[in-house]
Copies of this chain bind each other. A is one copy, B any other.
């Protein structure tokens, strides 16, 4: 590495002290205008920039936030990352992104690694494994250290921190009701995520809507093996004579559309389909998928905003603050797979 210019060097070159340089750069009132000008000039010449590490060490503030994502190949999380990044970078924060790959162990490692003065706070969604194990001590540790945390989407009630969640249950209830209102009466709920907290919530919503409507039949098709899922859905569709599909995740809905096409069922005339997560698959399926948008970017931005608020608020240093939970409203985006 080429040595970066430091205050020391500027000081030497101008025959001034380091502190004078430091103050000049901040246009401190107690430095003469003339000196200030000279300093700025040389600093510009050398393209001086303060060493971020030293500033952080001194100020105990890194202007960096740690983001823990269970996955990145999932469009939902990618959009959230985008939302976080937008908001954070606009406010002058960097983000360090870690992908836990749904692993508890990696999650713990990352939390420990980042907590040693690398980041000012965390934004995260629990990994699947962490949710199943329900081991949360690494977050309790963070709480003890008074490090602000914002959890999103996959959250835990046991950790007292700011949260941003999606009204999943309500969204699936509404979607199901829409299918019923549009004349469907034998509906399948298909999903690969029945075991995730959000999956359970969505299923609940669907059940409630069906319960509210006499004569409507609900069939649940959990896909356990992603490899054979396509075949499972195909034969399911062939044998069950259903007239609507609610896919609890995007791929389930996309596959349902494809298999309907394959079997020659007309969408939406014979089968209506609604999916979750307004990602690429929804926009580029044929026909285009009616889908629940979770407004992932907005969710990410909101999570970032909440964290930054904590970070910038001096009083939050004291532990006496109320955690907030914000709910991001979903909306149903109507496209061509529903009547």
Interface residues of A (CB under 8 A from B): 1-2, 4, 47, 49-54, 56-57, 60, 62, 64, 72-73, 75, 78-79, 81-82, 85-86, 89, 94-99, 106, 110, 112-118, 141, 144-147, 251, 254-255, 257-258, 261-262, 279-281, 284-286, 317
Contacts and interface: CB of A to CB of B under 8 A. Distances in A.
B146 A284 contact: no
Contact of A261 (B2, B95, B286): B286
B94 A317 contact: no
Contacts of A4: 116-117, 145
Contacts of A75: 73, 75, 280
Contacts of A85: 72, 97-99
A8 B113 CA distance: 21
B64 A53 contact: no
A144 B106 CA distance: 36
A2 B145 contact: yes
Nearest to A99: B85
Contacts of A317: 1
Given A78-B78, A251-B284, A286-B286, 13 more contacts: A1-B146, A1-B317, A52-B117, A53-B56, A53-B118, A72-B85, A73-B79, A85-B97, A85-B99, A89-B98, A89-B99, A255-B284, A279-B280
